[in-house]
Each structure stands twice: as C-alpha cells, then as structure tokens.
Structure 1
Amino acid sequence: MTWGRIQTADGRVLSGILSETELQPMAGFASTTPAGPSLPLADATLLAPCQPGKFIGLWNNYRAAAEKNGNAIPTTPLWFLKPDTSVVGHGATVTIPPQAGRVIFEGELGVVIGTRCRNASLAEAEAAIYGYTCINDLTSLDILNADPSFPQWTRAKGFDGFGVIGPHIVSGLDWRDLTIRTLVNGRERQSYPAADMILSPAEIVHHLSQDITLMPGDVIAVGTSLGARPVKAGDVVTVVIDGIGAAEITLA
C-alpha cells in the first residue's frame, strides 16, 4: 500500500492511498476510512507524505560507517530531533542559508509510525510501523562542530527544508531488501544496504518508545552510512530506494 499527500489545484491539502493516477482521501493518517471521492494526480502537487509531530534522526547506526570512523557500536539509539518546519517533499527547492556554511546530504531510510506507541515490546514496536519512506537529512557541518563544548545537532539539521521526506510511504516492505542510494546531479554518490543497520527499525521504535510516546505520522530517519558529502547551491540531490521511489530536491 502507498500513502501520499497532495495539494490540489484549488489549494486543498489531502492525504490518503495513492494509485498511479489518483489519491483516495482518508479520514486521518493511516486510516482505512475514505473521506470523499478519489482525485486525479495530474493537476496536484505532491507534498511530503506526512507532517510529523516528531521527526527523529539517528546517528551511528550502520556497521560499515561505524567501523570506518572508529565509532563504538551503540546498544541503544543515538538520536536527535529535527523541527517540523524542516520538512519538505519531493520536488522542493531548498535554500541553503548563508550561516549554514558547508552542508552535506545524508540519504536515509525513513520509518513512519502508524499507531500510538509507548513502552512497546519488540513485537508491539514492529506492529506500530506503518511503512517506509526516503529521507534526505541535510546537515550543516560548520554549525554542528562550531562550538567544541556543544555539538549543535538541532540547529545544524533544523533549517527550513533540511528534512526531505518522500515521495510517499510504502507499507508491506521487508527493510532488509532495500538499498539506499543518493544521486547528485544524476551521478550516484552514495549506495548502501539497509541490512547493514546496527539497530533494526523494530529495535529503534522499541527503545525510543521507552523514552517518548510515538504518535501516528512520526518519522524516524534511521541514520546514514558511507558516502555522505558536501553539496552546494544549484545541485539536484535525489535519494532513491527501489520499492519506495525517489525524493528529489534542488538546492538554492
């Protein structure tokens, strides 16, 4: 099943089940109750497939990157939050603020929560996952490391447009079969298997739910691996996961 979110030609924002040509609006996120007739996609603008209340990102969650960087293997998620105003969808133009300095892309798999989740067992955490999406977790390296006494994770990753989600959410996938690729101006710059993940999606949701209540539509970017590198204004950056789609932005 594929979930999407659109803005119609008359300005309405609707979300629901996507086919190749139409969107069937639903009563709420992950709902199975129709909310009106299907609408054609031809005259609509595709938006980020959800507007998360919480956009959570992980650091150091791939074995290859941990080994290369000399990082210890974590036993629980190392996480941060991105503000909801960072969220954009496929096709967006993202302006790099002058104070951001050097910015890198981070192509990632995104886990989307479908049901309220608190103190979940592994089985409950698995059941709470609605589906998967593509993420580009843009990051200002200059700001992240500007003050040696305080790494600025939220500010470095929180500029408007620095949280790319899309193009839609797909359920029924086995995450172990997925490969995350990032292209810059059509040239592949990053490619790694999701199966190299240290903490699985269910383990991540399980651990996070001990700390915070996860709600429908919350998004977890499960971390990136080798190959993230700087980008600049004018670049077109595309995160591709076969079976999900491609989330493309243009930097300005």
Structure 2
Amino acid sequence: MQSPAAAEIAEVSVRIVRYSVDGVHCYGELEASGAEIARCEGDPFSGMRPTGEVDKAGDVTILSPLDRPRVFGFAYNYVSHIDETDREVPEVPVLFMKPSTAVIGPGESIVYPADGELVHFEGELVVVIGKEARGVKASEAHEYILGYTCGNDVSDRVIQRRESAFGTLLIGKGQDTFAPLGPVIATDLDPSRLSLTTRVNGTVKQSASTADLLLTVPEIISYLSRYLTLLPGDAIMTGTPSGVGPIRPGDEVEIEIEGIGVLRNPVVAEGN
C-alpha cells in the first residue's frame, strides 16, 4: 500500500525525494508511477548517483526534502495578501528567516503552541537553491535553482504583531514545526504561472497563481544575492496569496502546487 505522502506527489519529469527506509536517510528519484524510488548515493547538491536499488514508495517515510536548511521568507509578495492585511505595497522587499529547527516534512505534525492564541497557515511556493549564488542577475537566476517544493509559512499572529511593532520578527514565524516543506523537489518547472491551493480539512482556503507574485522568482534570487551569499540547500519562501486563516489542533492542512504535489500536515496541541 502506498503511503499518503508518496501517493500525492504530482507528475513532473524529475522528482527528487528525501526519505527514510530501514533507519537509513537517503535521496532518490521518484519514478513516474509514484510507486517506486530509485535510491541514490550522495545528495542533489554534491551529486546523486543511482545505487541500483529500488525502494517501494509505500515502504518508506517521506522526509522534508531538505535537512536543516536556511529558510528565507518574503512577506507581502502578493497584492491580494497585501489587500487583505490592509497594508501598502512595500517600498523594499520585506524579509524574515526561519530557524532550521522549524522545518518538518510531509505527514509530520505542526505543533500548536500551548500559549498560542491565533496561528495561521500560509501556502507558498518554495525555491531550492542548487549552488552558491552571489550578485546574480535576474536573467541568470535559473542557473542557481535546483528546483521547487511546497511550503507552509505557519505564523503565530499575536507574537508576530508584537514583534513587528518593534521592527523584529523571529518567534512569530520561527517556532519549531512552523516550516513544513515537501513532498519533493521538482526540478523542471516554470515558476511563473503555477497554481497554488491551500485546504484546511478539505475546504479550499487559498486558490491563486504564482503569476500574481510581486517579485518574481528570478527577481527574488537577484535581490537576495545582491546582499548575501545564497548556499546550496537554501529554501526561499516566496510569499503567500490572500486567504490566510487560522488553524487549530485536530485540523489537517494541505498545500498543493501544480507540478509538485501535495504537502499535508496535521495540527496537534503542544504536549500531545
């Protein structure tokens, strides 16, 4: 029987998956049927080499496609989200970072904090950097992209607003489990017009296209790399469209992006 996470990975030409089997963590390429994974040595950044072994997708645990990455986030990068928050279009990109400990994979639980009052989901396209990048032109950005995955920028709005009032932002975005990623890294996608859908308990909450991004993926990479060095395995959350809303323990959140698949995570109360 195929695992839910493996069954919900979309059809793309190259689907890199990180998974655990028999206590071993490895990368592989998910075959077209989604039923089998060609196991590889190495990783997508230093080079993947097929071992000749094939694992049944139903017999493995799909992990976050990135192991403890740096996570960069772009806020207010869809006009629709700016409108729903009653803000002006920012004069410069609004950025934040999430600690690597915030990252979880498909099927893992988003932990609702014991003192949480208002925690939101945010479905986002995530760019995975493939090689070191500094001072990259937008026209050359594609050369530094390994691929794309789904992300959920989970946010504690009460803490976020308190922090933002003093010009900071860390705990509101960076708590453990607040950065689900997955299920695969899709390497052959055009990020300019991908459909993005977020569902909570099966009900559609967000439905948009990446065509509505204010800063496009190439512009995002060019802007970041102008000021800092991007590293292989960095994850860039590109922003969320309108429709963000609350989650509670017992909910199940799905982020689906065309060409990538479905990232599904339950929400549990802290301590459970």
Superposition TM-score tier, normalisation by shorter sequence: over 0.9
Instruction: Check 1:79–1:148 CA distance in 2 against 1; reply closer, same or farther (3 A cut).
Output: closer
What SS does the corresponding residue of 1:165 show, helix, strand or coil? strand
Residues 1:25 and 2:40 are matched in the alignment:
yes
Following the alignment from structure 1 to structure 2, what is the Cα–Cα distance between the partners of residues 160 and 70? 29
Instruction: Check 1:237–1:81 CA distance in 2 against 1; reply closer, same or farther (3 A cut).
Output: same
Instruction: Check 1:184–1:37 CA distance in 2 against 1; reply closer, same or farther (3 A cut).
Output: same
Equivalent position to 1:143, from 151, 159, 179 = 159
1:108-165 C-alpha deviation (Å, 9 max, x unpaired): 1111111110111123322111111111110000111235642552111111111010
Equivalent position to 1:37, from 36, 44, 52 = 52
Following the alignment from structure 1 to structure 2, what is the Cα–Cα distance between the partners of residues 160 and 65? 25
Single out whichever of 220-229 and 57-66 deviates more from structure 2.
57-66
The letter for the 2-side match of 1:44 is: V
The letter for the 1-side match of 2:52 is: P
What SS does the corresponding residue of 2:81 show, helix, strand or coil? helix
1:169 counterpart residue number: 185
Equivalent position to 2:62, from 41, 46, 49 = 46
Aligned 8 A contact 1:76 1:207 in 2: no
Q: Pairwise mapping of residues 146-161 of structure 1 onto structure 2 (< 5 A)? A: 146=162, 149-150=165-166, 152-161=168-177
What SS does the corresponding residue of 1:101 show, helix, strand or coil? coil
Residues 1:251 and 2:267 are matched in the alignment:
yes
Note the aligned Cα RMSD (angstroms).
Answer: 1.8
1:195 counterpart residue number: 211
Equivalent position to 1:7, from 20, 26, 43 = 20
Aligned 8 A contact 2:109 2:265 in 1: yes
Offset, 1:236: 0.4
Following the alignment from structure 1 to structure 2, what is the Cα–Cα distance between the partners of residues 15 and 192? 31
Aligned 8 A contact 2:81 2:243 in 1: no
2:236 counterpart residue number: 220
Following the alignment from structure 1 to structure 2, what is the Cα–Cα distance between the partners of residues 164 and 186? 18
Single out whichever of 238-247 and 171-180 deviates more from structure 2.
171-180
Instruction: Check 1:34–1:126 CA distance in 2 against 1; reply closer, same or farther (3 A cut).
Output: same
The letter for the 1-side match of 2:17 is: G
Instruction: Check 1:228–1:177 CA distance in 2 against 1; reply closer, same or farther (3 A cut).
Output: same
Residues 1:117 and 2:133 are matched in the alignment:
yes
TM-score, L = length of structure 1: 0.93
1:191-227 C-alpha deviation (Å, 9 max, x unpaired): 1111000101111011101121111111000000100
Instruction: Check 1:6–1:146 CA distance in 2 against 1; reply closer, same or farther (3 A cut).
Output: same
Single out whichever of 31-40 and 133-142 deviates more from structure 2.
31-40
Percentage of identical aligned residues: 34
Instruction: Check 1:147–1:116 CA distance in 2 against 1; reply closer, same or farther (3 A cut).
Output: closer
Following the alignment from structure 2 to structure 1, what is the Cα–Cα distance between the partners of residues 224 and 129? 12
Gapped regions of structure 1 (runs ≥ 5): none
The letter for the 2-side match of 1:117 is: A
TM-score, L = length of structure 2: 0.86
What SS does the corresponding residue of 2:170 show, helix, strand or coil? helix
1:16-44 C-alpha deviation (Å, 9 max, x unpaired): 32222113314222454415233312321
Aligned 8 A contact 1:52 1:219 in 2: no
The letter for the 2-side match of 1:249 is: N
1:146-186 C-alpha deviation (Å, 9 max, x unpaired): 35642552111111111010011101111122111110001
Instruction: Check 1:59–1:147 CA distance in 2 against 1; reply closer, same or farther (3 A cut).
Output: closer
The letter for the 1-side match of 2:125 is: L
